[in-house]
Structure 1
Amino acid sequence: MTLITVFKFLIILMGTFIALEIMGFSGFFLKFLGSLGVAGVIAGVALKDLVSSIFSGMLVSVDKAFKIGDYVTIGGNSGTVQDIGLLTTKLITDDGKKVYIPNQVIFNSPFFNITASPQRRIIFDLEIPVGEDIDKAKEAILNEIKSLQHVDRVDTSDVLLTNVKQGVFTLQVKFWLEIGSDFGKLKSEAIIRINSRLMKEGINLVTPTTINITNVDNPAENK
C-alpha cells in the first residue's frame, strides 16, 4: 500500500465522518466503531490459543524434535507419535488410546523423545526396615541384577542409600538396559526377583500400613 493510497483512504474516512456528523449519525458511528474494537479484543483473546497452537505446530515440523513413529512423553502422556498436525500432535498410548495434545503444550512444558535416546536406565526405590542389614541387602540386589538378561554395563549397576525416615531405609536401584530391550517387562522382572531374593535372605521390604479410624461413642451420651 503506497502513501498516496493511505492518504486517499484517510480523506474518504474523514469525508464520511463529516457527512454523518451533518446528518446527525456521528454518535451511532462512534458507538459502532467502539463495538468493533471490543469485538476485536474478544476475538483476539479467543484466537490466541489457536494461533499459538498453529505456530507451535509449524515449529515442531521445522525443529524435528520428534517424528512420526517415535515414542515420546509429552505433558505426562506417553505413546507413539501417530501424526503431527498444525493444531495437535496425536499419540497412541501403550493401552491403545489416542491422545490429542495441543502443540502449544509441547513448547510450554518439557517433553522427552525416548526413541532418540535408545539407551535407557531403570531406576526405582525399595524400602526396608532400619533394623535390616543394609550391606547384605545391597549385595543381594546387585547379585540379582547381574543374573538378569538384557542388562548392559553390569559393572555400573548400583544400589544407593538415599533416605532414612521413620524407621525406614530407602534404597535406590539403578542399572542400564541393552538397546531395544522391553523397559516395562525388565523392570517388573527385576522388582519381582529382587523381592524374592531379599525374602530368601531374610530381609523383608516395608509393607504399606493402612490405618482405619472409627468413631468412638461418647460414654457420656450412653449414660
Structure 2
Amino acid sequence: MRVLEVWISNTIYTLIALFAFAIALYALRTLIRTELRRLRGYQKLATIFYSIAFLILGLTLLNIWGVLSLLISFAAALGIIGVIFGFAIMEVWLSNAIAGVSLIFDKLIEVGCTIKIDGTKGKIIQISLTSTRLATDDGKLMIVPNKSFRERPYLIIEFPRGEEQKTRRRR
C-alpha cells in the first residue's frame, strides 16, 4: 500500500513539474522571440537556454523519483576511482618524464646513437618526454620507458657523430 502511495505522489509531482516546465518554456520562447532576436548569434544563446531548461527538468524528475541521489553516488564513486587511477598513472608518468628531461639535457644518448639495453641492440630514432624509441637490428621498433636508462645498465655502442665507442653504466 505504501508503494502505491509513493508512486501516486511521485506521479502528481511529476505532472506539476511538467506543467511548470511547459509554462517556463513558453515564457523562455517568448523572451527569445521578442528580446533576444535583436542580438547577433541569438540562435546559439537560445540553444544554450533550452538545453539548461531541459537539464533542469531532467534533474527535477530524477530527484522526484529518487534516482538523482543514486546517480550522484555513482558519479562520486567514478570520481574517486578516477582520482586513484590518476595518482597511479602520475607516479609512472612522472618518473618517466623526469628521466626523459634528464636524458634530453644530459646528452648521454641522443637520436642516432646505437645502444644495447636489456640484451637488445638498436639505433635511437626518437627521444620523447616519457619514452625512447629504438629501431632494432631485425627491423622492429622497441619502446623503452625513459626511467629504464636510470634503473638499468646500458651500453652505448656508437654515436652519430663518429665519436669513439663509449660505455655508460647507470644505477
Q: Tell me the TM-score normalised to structure 1 length.
A: 0.35
Q: Which of the two has greater helix per residue?
A: 2
TM-score normalised according to structure 2 size: 0.45
Q: Name which one, 1 or 2, has greater alpha-carbon Rg.
A: 1
Higher strand fraction (1 or 2): 1
